[in-house]
Amino acid sequence: MSSKEDVVIIGAGIGGLTLALSLHQAGIACRIYEAVPELRPLGVGINVLPHAARELAELGLLPELDKVGVRTRESIFFNEHGQFVFREAAGLAAGFDWPQYSIHRGDLQTVLFDAVKQRLGPDAVVCGQRCTGATQDGESITAHFVSPDGERLPDVRARLLVACDGVHSALRKQLYPQEGAPRYSGVNMWRGTAVWKPFLSEASMVRAGWLDVGKMVIYPIRNDVDGKGSQLINWVAEITDPNPAIRDWSRPGRLEDFLPAFEDWHFDWLDVPALIRSSDSILEYPMVDQDPLPTWTQGRLTLLGDAAHPMVPRGSNGAGQAIIDARYLAGQLKRRGLTEEALQDYDKVRVAATTQVVLTNRTNPPDAILREVYERTGGKRFEQLEPIVSQAELQAISDNYKKVAGYSPAALKARPSFL
């Protein structure tokens, strides 16, 4: 037996939930099928840059995000000796019309999930249904499912199916059965959160050190978590390592595998080893991506978010590009109807745009600023930075990334809404 939907979305992650809200805004009926029996707020911190925040603003979600996230004010870079390298304003402070948020992934997912339940109804997300594949007959597409115990569940027929099923996407495997495992970048990451007193501007995103000797990304993701003004601070340690960690977002990590690289990072703006030691739990994950695909679409099936373009998390763009895919696709479906041609248009525009982001994340993401300083100083302390590398050069790296990822202030202001 099977039921019939207009659009079936596979996966209730950031991309799938944003797509459901956007389709609803466009007057298109949809339902999400999610593998896990219950959505739990997993993960640690992520950033939503102004181009993606704009989309969430157009969904009316900024008041809810403000209750749980931190509006980032600046992005600031230090070398592994704690010496200041580069600073630039972020979000509204940088002249964007939309803020940048640093937020717990679970909080962002909860804001989206609550809005889906409120606007589309409590049955809009069906949990405990893992999609195993889809078949097409020219008229419709049929999704096949199993329960968490592996029992076959009834099929669901739809006019279109959008696979938002993340980095282990079953539908991507169906489209590209020969594709190998995700590509390891040679860097492992350890992530955690700790309750700590505010540092620097109280809304600073810090990047420090370099991958060869140990790099950290540190930023607050929740304000006043204890009624005494402390924040929840998110940190990510990244170190070059020939052996990739296991690809499981919830896998615990061990202090001894990475803390030695940061043991002497006692800076006047933050005591990094003390922050790491006070963390509740530590997760490890390898930095992986996939070579960009030539197309994500086959007939009535397309991919979105990490299923389509997993990228190494070096430009704060994983969640953002998933959000933009969702909004762009909803706009196309609104204008062109639930047609294969609308999927083809989405494919053409978003494959090209995200291919650039995936490749630039490998070579020249914003943290390339730290690579320049590390290589030109040989990892040593400097007396003066300017003769070694100018602020203008460092600014150019940052500006280039904004252009590639689609969030320079002028371009973003000029671009019409997707919906």
Residues at the site binding ligand FAD, with contacts judged by CB under 6 A: 10-16, 33-36, 42-44, 46, 105, 130-131, 164-166, 168, 170, 191, 249, 305-307, 313, 318-319, 322
Nearer to ligand FAD, 374 or 418 (CB): 418
Q: Of 318 and 373, which CB lies nearer to ligand FAD in the complex structure?
A: 318
CB closer to ligand FAD, 11 vs 182: 11
Closer to ligand FAD by Cβ: residue 99 or 320? 320
Residue 89 CA to residue 225 CA, distance in Å, equals 25
Tallying the residues shown for the chain, one arrives at 419
The tokens describing 176, both together, are: 């590209």
- Please give the helix or strand (H or E) that residue 229 lies within, else none: none
Residue number with CB closer to ligand FAD (24 or 130)? 130
Nearest to 321, CA basis, from 299, 364, 292, 298: 292
Neighbouring C-alpha atoms within 13 Å toward the C-beta of 167:
20
Nearest distance, CB of residue 386 and ligand FAD, angstroms: 34
Nearer to ligand FAD by Cβ, of 52 and 385: the residue is 52
Contact by Cβ (8 Å): 233, 219: yes
Q: How far is the CB of 7 from ligand FAD (least distance, A)?
A: 15
* Count of C-beta atoms within a 10 Å radius of residue 2: 12
**Three-state secondary structure call for residue 119:** helix
User: CB of residue 263 vs ligand FAD: minimum separation in angstroms?
Assistant: 24
- Contact (Cβ atoms closer than 8 angstroms) between residue 175 and residue 166: no
CB of 105 to ligand FAD, least distance (A): 5
Min separation Cβ 47 and ligand FAD, Å: 8
143 vs 412, which CB is nearer to ligand FAD? 143
Q: Which of 287, 283, 289, 264 lies closest to 208, judged by CA?
A: 264
**Residue in the shown chain whose Cβ atom is closest to ligand FAD:** 13
- Taking the complex as a whole, the smallest distance from the CB of residue 388 to ligand FAD amounts, in Å, to 31
Instruction: Decide if 119 contacts 65 (C-beta within 8 A).
Output: no
Q: How far is CA 303 from CA 61, 162, 239, 406, in A?
A: 24, 6, 31, 20
Shortest distance, position 402 Cβ to ligand FAD, whole Å: 19
Block residue for tokens 């070398």: 79
